[in-house]
Chains A and B, each alone.
Chain A
């Protein structure tokens, strides 16, 4: 069965610190990968996505993620976080073969101190 693991449940950083949130998935086939963000009081929003091609993908607000197939990982990074990045971040996987089923990680709560 597919599963997604986000190893960091809570992360606290100071502004300007670098961020890396881990995401590992278990699925042997081709996958689509996503990071979603949920700001306090707001909807889940798509941050970035990977379907194929360049394994380094760039999303909104300066976020990027790298797909490492051999490690089944899709870690999220940002070189310098801002107070406004305080949110909950979710990694998600969908089998590209079209199962139409999305598996989400349990989320990482990021708090950025001003």
Chain B
């Protein structure tokens, strides 16, 4: 089975712009979670989707949003980018029968 894929892998944006990141889960996985990884904070949970519904979210401002499509692919959007949004954004998918997560390679976002 192909693993979790994320596009793009690298992105450079300017403050104030918005960005959309994409994630395709492992085939058959319907749960997709997003994380922000930074050197100082580690992995911070953003939100989790299952069957197009957001089931939980972390403590991030409303500028961070996401959605999931009927084919389980997910996107996250960050509006009005700030320098502090520079990070590695990770997507993970989970199988129906277990809570373990399988991670993608991440999208490295740099905000200048």
Contact = CB atoms under 8 A, between A and B. Distances in A.
B42 A107 contact: yes
Interface size class of A (residues with CB under 8 A): 20 to 34
A36 B33 CA distance: 15
A92 to B, nearest CB: 8
A44 B55 contact: no
Of the listed residues A94, A101, A106, the one surrounded by the most CB atoms of chain B closer than 10 A to its CB is: A101
Interface string B72-98: 000000000000000000101000001
B42 A104 contact: yes
Contacts, number: 50
B100 A101 contact: no
Dominant secondary structure at the B interface: strand
Interface residues of B, number: 26
A90 to B, nearest CB: 7
Interface in A26-68: 32, 34, 36, 43-46, 49, 51
A105 B42 contact: yes
B101 interface: yes
Nearest to A6: B42
A101 B41 contact: no
Contact of A43 (B33, B43, B100, B105): B105
A21 B52 CA distance: 37
B106 to A, nearest CB: 8
A102 B32 CA distance: 12
A21 to B, nearest CB: 14
B9 to A, nearest CB: 12
Nearest to B40: A106
Given A44-B103, A92-B43, A101-B45, 7 more contacts: A36-B103, A43-B104, A46-B102, A51-B98, A51-B99, A101-B58, A105-B42
Q: Which 7 residue pairs are nearest across A and B when measured between Cβ atoms?
A: A106-B42, A104-B43, A44-B103, A101-B56, A100-B55, A100-B48, A100-B56
